[in-house]
Amino acid sequence: MGVRHRGRELAFQILFQTDQTGDKVNAVIARFQDLKHANAEAAAFAENLAVGAFGSLALIDPLVSAAADHWKLERLLSVDRALLRLGAFELSQNPDTPTEVILDECIDLAKTYGGEDSTAFVNGVLDRLARQLRPAAAAQPGPKRPKARVGKR
């Protein structure tokens, strides 16, 4: 497993814990043992992503809500909500990371941690967000990924 993939996985787990417990991100990080035992580069990357995403919820949540047609943010599975927040943060704040990498990593995490429909749902919402936040990247020819429908769950 690559360092950045592990970092995203840890960031997702931190965001999931903040969502489940209602605790602030720094409190979750302080007691998160997997982060303490991770490669230093992966841990630093995870912490930057988690703190950044958590600190940007006022910006990210309306974007996710708008992209998740027919779904209120609070009705989403906590796993999906954490993945969408992570993906939305990276799409909006990390322009050096390719769009395809962000989407593929979040979709991969949805396969591992999400429910039956999580993969398609996360794919569809993040694809819509990517087209909105990175219109130049969406216009670039690249590998074709199947489009997922975002609808009622």
Tell me the mean pLDDT in the region 88-102: 95
CA end-to-end span of the chain: 32
- Could you give all domains of the chain from N- to C-terminal order, each with its CATH number? 3-139 (1.10.940.10)
Please provide the DSSP assignment of the chain as one string. --HHHHHHHHHHHHHHHHHHH---HHHHHHH-HHHHTS-HHHHHHHHHHHHHHHHTHHHHHHHHHHHSTT--GGGS-HHHHHHHHHHHHHHHH-TTS-HHHHHHHHHHHHHHHS-TTHHHHHHHHHHHHHHHH-HHHHHS-----PPPP----
Instruction: Report the pLDDT value the prediction gives residue 153, as an integer from 0 to 100.
Output: 44
The larger pLDDT score, comparing residue 146 to residue 82, is at 82
Tell me the mean pLDDT in the region 70-86: 92
pLDDT band of 150, cuts 50, 70, 90: very low
Instruction: Report the pLDDT value the prediction gives residue 139, as an integer from 0 to 100.
Output: 52
pLDDT band of 123, cuts 50, 70, 90: very high
pLDDT at 143 over 50: no
Amino acid at 117: D
Q: Are 80 and 109 in contact (CB under 8 A)?
A: no
